[in-house]
Amino acid sequence: MAEAFGRHYFGRSVYFASAGVRKGDLDPFAVAVMEEVGIDIAGFRPHTFEDLEDASFDLIITLSPEAHHKALEFTRTLAADVVYWPTLDPSVVEGSRERMLDAYRLVRDTLGERVKAFFNPRPPPPADEPGQPSP
């Protein structure tokens, strides 16, 4: 979901790639909740760290303790920053379909806001606002 938001918000101006710690299939709940916000991830193929071809990342953002540990190992010989965003694993939530979707929606909304804020910091206020020098 984070990669999809990155591509959605920033297109090609920032390179995004996602990877998990284990092989797996695309999660249909993730597809459903991203579709709710107009982002189609149905064609995405999940990757693992081992699948990453380009080892020249500037930044790796991890969402779980296991992924954070793996990223630190992965970047041992790279000049890359590793940032940890603790994130609920919605796949462990049990209950009704709606309860499970709500967990995915929470993760979706949180990741969407984090990606937007982290990669697109607020621009400085216009120079005519108090506390700003005039041109």
Q: Residue ranges per domain, the chain?
A: 2-119
The average pLDDT across 71-78 equals 86
**DSSP annotation of 111:** H
Residue 53 to residue 21: CA distance in whole angstroms: 15
What pLDDT shows up at residue 83?
Answer: 95
Choose which CATH entry (1.20.120.1630, 3.40.50.2300, 3.40.50.720, 2.60.40.10) describes domain 2-119.
3.40.50.2300
The closest of 16, 8, 21, 6 to 54, measured between CA atoms, is: 16
State the Rg of the chain over Cα.
Answer: 17
Distances (CA, A) of 105 to 42, 48, 71, 101, 135: 16, 23, 25, 6, 45
| pTM of this structure | 0.82
Per the prediction, the chain carries an average pLDDT of 88
For 76-129, what is each residue's pLDDT tens digit?
888 889 999 999 999 999 999 999 999 999 999 999 999 999 987 655 566 665
Confidence of residue 54 (pLDDT cuts 50, 70, 90): low
